[in-house]
Amino acid sequence: MIMRTHQTPESSESGQGALELALSLPLFALLILASAEIGNLAWASVQVNNAARAGAAYASLSRANAASTTNIQTAAQNEAPNLTITATSTQVCSCISSGSSPTNDPGCGSTNLTNCPSPDVIQVSVEVNTSATVTTLIHYPGLPASYTLHAQATVGVEQ
């Protein structure tokens, strides 16, 4: 018959698990907070990009819409109601000819595009730039307390 003896752990190993947990718990907590912070910034970035696309989509419907910076700002803000979105828009006109490179006119104000020779056409596009400042959930030493996110969308305008 084999007799088994009861073995007791050595005294140096008795609190090892509790010590490892105490040392690793702050790192796990920091990892979870950092993940939440990155998720918050990623969500805000998606919202700023969607706002730029919404403003550009509104501007693309007509030349009158493309010229209405207030309504483009409103369309962008409506797409991201939880953020304060700043949207700016710029019209760019081009005289597109089949044989040469396009002539660009930022702002679409020069007379050379109104005299675009036939069969050339004037192409109008709108560039919408959006930005929003996002405050971090928790201020980490050595990192900024807020970040400014930017996005841009460019579309052609219906003629």
Domains in the chain: boundaries: 23-156
Model pLDDT for residues 5-51, shown as the tens digit of each residue: 666 555 566 788 888 888 999 999 989 998 999 999 999 999 999 99
H runs (alpha helix) in 60-107: 63-67, 69-79
Mean pLDDT of 53-80: 93
Mean pLDDT of 103-130: 69
The H or E element spanning position 106 is: strand 103-106
Asked if 120 and 96 count as a contact pair (C-beta separation under 8 A), the reply is: yes
Question: Could you give the CA distance from residue 64 to residue 21 in angstroms, rounded to a whole number?
Answer: 64
Residue 1 pLDDT: 64
Residue 103 pLDDT: 58
* pLDDT band, residue 111 (cuts 50/70/90): very low
* pLDDT band, residue 70 (cuts 50/70/90): very high
